[in-house]
Amino acid sequence: MSANILLTRIDNRLVHGQVGVTWTKSIGANLILVANDEAASNPLQQKLMSTTADSSGAGIRFFSLEKTIKIINRAADRQKIFIVVKTPEDARKLVEGGVPIREINVGNMHFSQGKKEVTKKVYVDENDIKSLLFLSNSGIDVYIEDYPGDKKFPVNENLFK
């Protein structure tokens, strides 16, 4: 029996208004799982994200990537899980660790030195591209979509040409 993971989102802001409310409600999640080593050990970050989650009516948990991999398959059937990670590398680590992810939404990946624009909100470097293509080539539905119902850009080799 595998965990009921509705969607995984890559967003370098993790949980904020748009993710906490719009995406959570749109997919019908009742648990937001923030899989991020830093957030898992940062009470202030957790407090801010919990406030956002409260307004969506969903529960929220903060786990390191390793803890997520270890316990995800112990999730109860009633838990409709929305996983949020910070980077494509984090998503890849979860998949390589056996987390049953079927769909990945690429949200915000801000510009930084050495990154190129894919869409107005998604900037990637070689490492990001490798991880995104690894995920896409693993049979996972990976796409860029800013908010529910927005134009979807499937992630594949053509996207980065």
Segment (H or E) for 22: none
CA distance 62 to 106: 20
Residue 110 annotated to the active site: no
**What does the block give as tokens for 72?**
């995800």
Half-sphere exposure of 84 (CA within 13 A, CB side): 27
Catalytic residue among 16, 25, 115, 121: 16
Report the run of H or E that residue 51 belongs to, with start and end: helix 43-56
Please give the Cα distance from 70 to 47 (Å, whole number).
24
Contact 22, 145 (CB under 8 A): no
Residue 158 DSSP class? G
Task: Say if CB 106 and CB 10 are below 8 A apart.
Answer: yes
- Token pair for residue 93? 């680590």
Active centre residues (catalytic): 16
